[in-house]
């Protein structure tokens, strides 16, 4: 099963800009795999990669 967006917000208390999970996939054995898709306009990239802009 794959959970996204508002479903994730219903499980964990974090909200933008501090929710670093875009998708959660349940795996066998009670495990999960979480994904975060980063864009180059994320707030923290401007401080770390100043030559990009």
pLDDT tens per residue across span 6-50: 999 999 999 987 888 999 999 999 999 999 988 777 776 666 666
pLDDT the model gives residue 41: 74
Phi, psi of 9 (to 5 degrees): -65, -25
Give the single-character DSSP code of 10: T
**Confidence at residue 21, expressed as pLDDT on a 0 to 100 scale:** 92
pLDDT at 2: 95
Q: Check: CB of residue 39 under 8 Å from CB of residue 53.
A: no
Question: Is the pLDDT confidence value at 52 over 70?
Answer: no
Instruction: Please tell me the predicted confidence (pLDDT) of residue 33.
Output: 97
């Amino acid at each position: 099963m794959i959970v996204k967006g508002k479903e994730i917000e219903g499980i964990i208390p974090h909200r933008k800009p501090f929710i670093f999970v875009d998708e959660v996939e349940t795996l066998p054995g009670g495990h999960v795999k979480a994904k975060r898709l980063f864009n180059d306009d994320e707030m923290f990239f401007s401080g770390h990669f100043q030559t990009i802009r």
